[in-house]
Structure 1
Amino acid sequence: MTIPTPAIKSGTQVVQRVAALMRGVSARNRVGARLIDLCTEINIERPTAHRILQGLVSEGLIRQDESTKRYFLGNVVYEMGLAASPRTNMRDLCHSHLQQIAQCTGDTVFLTIRAGFDGVCIDRAEGAFPIKVFVLEVGRRRPINIGGGALAILSFLDDNEIERILKINKDRCMEKFPNYSEAEVRKNIARARARGHVVSDVVELPGVRTIAAPIFDKNRHPVAAISVATLNTRLDKDRSELVLDCINKAIEQIQPNLLNIETEN
């Protein structure tokens, strides 16, 4: 039996909307996602979004706080995540090192991996400095040419891959990030290749700067990055060197473990 083309398109659209809503909730999971914010971000009508979210709530993929009405990821997502965890769990390998960097610098530390044309924050550690810079929530996805950690991964990809990513991500970067500059990204890539790390201003938050360095697999392919974000006034030359030294020492300890696990597998 042949399924009519409109049905295929309709089914695909529903899947895309479900995925977009799940990502939207995931990006805001720390404080909860408001329906109006999800609708605005995804460009979906409120009744449609509400209907899909309530369906996800009934399946345990999403939960809704009764008092605030905000949406959070449900327990079923956690269970699926455990089943889907890669044999090399980057978060487990890096978590204690992120905490050490946060303790050493006092600032907020992030772990980013690549997911297609995006960078995804998979872990975060908070330092003791009273002004917290929460550039990323765990689970937040952004184009891989946005953000220090993502740029640290992008910078060490093959030249053809970099060009492909910049071309595909251009329109959505310009739409969602008014301060985005491809020329500046290219400058950051060139500087990163020369220095081995990224230093860049955060496009969404004026006055905030990030330092990041990549983590490589056994083939010298960038698979993740560690970044520290803080007020740019805290990153003068001497302190930038201190922060970078903390990051590099952590990566020196992480990479041998990553290589050993890959060899065993």
Structure 2
Amino acid sequence: MNSPPTDVTGRIAAVLRTLSGFPDNGASTSQIARASGLARPTAHRLLAGLAEQGYVDRDHRTGRWFLGPELYLLGEIAAQRYDVTQHARAGVHRLAAATGESAFFSARRGDETVCLLREDGDFPIRSFVLYEGARFPLGVVSAGLVVLAMLPDREVDDYLARTDLTVHWGRQHSATALRERIARTRETGYAVNPGLVVEGSWGMAAAVFNQSGKPAWALTLTGVDTRFRADRRPELGALLLREAHALTKALRTAGP
């Protein structure tokens, strides 16, 4: 597991990233401290300072924290340069419509993937592991696995050497198990998560590459295990790869 950040900038970033994982009901100071690896007094001090600047907001009735309005304003400006969801939205829609499953678009942010888009197909039973704003470490869920698998060996080795996913995600996310899934992902071109995060909830993903040829995003399909039978997975994988290739081409043409 990664060590808690020691510099102020890293601590602030950890608090904001943690808080982004509680978009609906907010989070308590203790939850934020625990999830970010910080002492509770440190987390509270940072949250109070961020609140003064409008970067976080607090519900004084419940004491829970939320991302603040200043981040929204900054995000609107940053989106003019970095928002790629407008390009991904059509592909996500096609995947959901063609398969009946829930389709997603996620972005790599450092050692994590962040879900940016979700659209549900018409099949009535859904998986709710992924949602807009959800963050997972590389190697966890199919989006994180496909991004990790498509990195150069040197970067994969470095990540696995400094990251112990078994602490939070169990032995099925050991370095040895991950290397086996990485090898299979590289063979097929798409990743499969056979219910490793939530039993019975499957996912498949294909990587979308940036102009430098690095896996920067992922398209995902999720659903219940009976919808991801062995005879259907190649069909779903082909659809994912087709949309991922088209989106990669579109983003390269669009430029930064």
Alignment of 1:60-139 (within 5 A): 60-85=54-79, 87=81, 89-139=83-133
Bigger mean CA deviation after superposition, 230-239 or 127-136: 127-136
Q: How many percent identity over aligned positions?
A: 29
Specify whether residues 68 and 155 from structure 1 end up closer, same or farther in structure 2 by C-alpha distance, changes over 3 A only.
same
Alignment of 1:215-254 (within 5 A): 215-254=208-247
Show the counterpart of 1:213: 206
CA distance in 1, matches of 2:140, 2:214: 19
1:133-186 CA-partner distances (Å, limit 9, x unpaired): 2223433333212221121112122111111111122x3x12222232222211
Say yes or no: does 1:24 pair with 2:18.
yes
| 2:232 aligned counterpart, secondary structure | helix
Show the counterpart of 1:160: 154
User: Does the CA contact (< 8 Å) of 1:153 and 1:222 recur in 2?
Assistant: yes
Unpaired segments of 5 or more residues in structure 1? 1-10
Specify whether residues 21 and 131 from structure 1 end up closer, same or farther in structure 2 by C-alpha distance, changes over 3 A only.
farther
User: Does the CA contact (< 8 Å) of 1:23 and 1:140 recur in 2?
Assistant: no
Bigger mean CA deviation after superposition, 246-255 or 181-190: 246-255
| 1:80 aligned counterpart, secondary structure | helix
CA distance in 2, matches of 1:127, 1:31: 26
Show the counterpart of 2:34: 40
| 1:87 aligned counterpart, secondary structure | helix
Deviation at 1:236, TM superposition (A): 0.7
Q: CA RMSD in A?
A: 2.6
CA distance in 1, matches of 2:127, 2:92: 15
Deviation at 1:251, TM superposition (A): 2.2
Give TM-score scaled by structure 1 length. 0.82
CA distance in 1, matches of 2:65, 2:221: 28
Corresponding letter in the other structure for 2:170: P
User: Does the CA contact (< 8 Å) of 2:207 and 2:216 recur in 1?
Assistant: yes
Say yes or no: does 1:203 pair with 2:160.
no
Show the counterpart of 1:191: 184
Count residues with an aligned counterpart: 251
| 1:109 aligned counterpart, secondary structure | strand
CA distance in 1, matches of 2:63, 2:95: 36
Give TM-score scaled by structure 2 length. 0.85
Specify whether residues 256 and 17 from structure 1 end up closer, same or farther in structure 2 by C-alpha distance, changes over 3 A only.
closer
CA distance in 2, matches of 1:152, 1:88: 21
CA distance in 2, matches of 1:128, 1:54: 44
User: Does the CA contact (< 8 Å) of 1:27 and 1:138 recur in 2?
Assistant: no
Specify the structure having the higher radius of gyration (Cα): 1
| 2:222 aligned counterpart, secondary structure | strand
Unpaired segments of 5 or more residues in structure 2? none
CA distance in 1, matches of 2:147, 2:219: 10
Deviation at 1:218, TM superposition (A): 4.4
| 2:26 aligned counterpart, secondary structure | coil
| 1:215 aligned counterpart, secondary structure | strand
